[in-house]
């Protein structure tokens, strides 16, 4: 499955062995129109929030193959429209040389996902649209972050779908977190590819000849989570409630 939201299912842009995420069950509903409003209002945020400071390509970056291990790969398989979730990826350098720059490239599967400039979005094929790129998930500002840190990580690169996390020393691990809000219901595959450099000459491999990466399968229900309004006016999701009918 690549992209399935009322359209045809396409083959994914990159097909490694899938790494399953954990399941998380949503809450009871508020109105679906709320999530639709989020999608329209936060499209520009999704475009602008694709990383921190910009990372430039290094023409002197050493070529080569760098062994790595994916130690963390988590993303809820079941989600609800309007629900906020975390995608976590951890990469360990298992070799004897430092990776010049750890990169993670993300795309929604299928032709519409591949064609989009958004890492968590798709390209609307309708003709004449001023902005054809639409989010499936909206990436929160100041994300991705290193796990446990309040600081932004993952610098922007020449591709909005690629996040650069800097050099990775031998036997060290980088764990990154993306905070995402689901704004379009449907069934989706998300593919991620791990690289070792910015110019494409440094390759990250989990085995000889095997590109480092993986995928998640996620289904976004059209029923949003239950929320409440706090005394300060902030709207928050109600934790600890599940829908027994799911």
**Residue 63: φ, ψ to 5°:** -80, 160
Predicted local distance difference test score (pLDDT) of residue 55: 55
Between residues 188 and 229, which one has the greater pLDDT?
188
Contacts of 159 (CB under 8 A, 6+ apart): 105
- 237 pLDDT higher than 70: yes
CATH, domain range 3-225? 2.60.40.10
Contacts of 102 (CB under 8 A, 6+ apart): 91, 164, 165, 166, 167, 168, 174, 194, 195, 196, 204
Highest-confidence segment of 10-14, 49-53, 97-101: 97-101
Burial pattern 18-53, b for ≥16 Cβ within 10 A else e, equals: ebebeebebbebbeeeebbebbeebbeebbebbbbe
pLDDT tens digits, 58-74: 567 788 999 999 999 99
Q: Where are the domains of the chain?
A: 3-225
């Amino acid at each position: 499955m690549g992209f399935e939201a009322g359209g045809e299912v396409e083959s994914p842009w990159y097909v490694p062995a899938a790494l399953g995420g954990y399941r998380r069950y949503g809450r009871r509903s508020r109105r679906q129109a709320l999530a639709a409003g989020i999608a329209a209002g936060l499209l520009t945020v999704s475009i602008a929030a694709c990383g921190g400071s910009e990372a430039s390509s290094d023409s002197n970056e050493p070529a080569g193959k760098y062994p790595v291990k994916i130690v963390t790969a988590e993303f809820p398989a079941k989600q609800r429209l309007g629900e906020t979730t975390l995608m976590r990826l951890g990469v360990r350098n298992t070799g004897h040389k430092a990776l010049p720059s750890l990169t993670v490239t993300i795309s929604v599967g299928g032709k519409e996902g591949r064609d989009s400039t958004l890492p968590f979005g798709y390209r609307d094929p309708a003709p004449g649209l001023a902005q054809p790129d639409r989010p499936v998930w909206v990436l929160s500002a100041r994300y991705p972050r290193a796990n446990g840190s309040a600081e932004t990580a993952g610098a922007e690169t020449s591709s909005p779908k690629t996040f650069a996390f800097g050099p990775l020393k031998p036997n060290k691990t980088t764990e990154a977190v993306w905070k995402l809000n689901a704004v379009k219901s449907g069934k989706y595959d998300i593919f991620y590819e791990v690289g070792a450099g910015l110019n494409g000459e440094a390759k990250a491999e989990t085995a000889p000849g095997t590109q480092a990466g993986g995928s998640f399968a996620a289904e976004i229900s059209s029923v949003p989570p239950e929320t409440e309004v706090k005394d300060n006016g902030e709207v928050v999701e109600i934790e600890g409630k599940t829908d027994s009918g799911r």
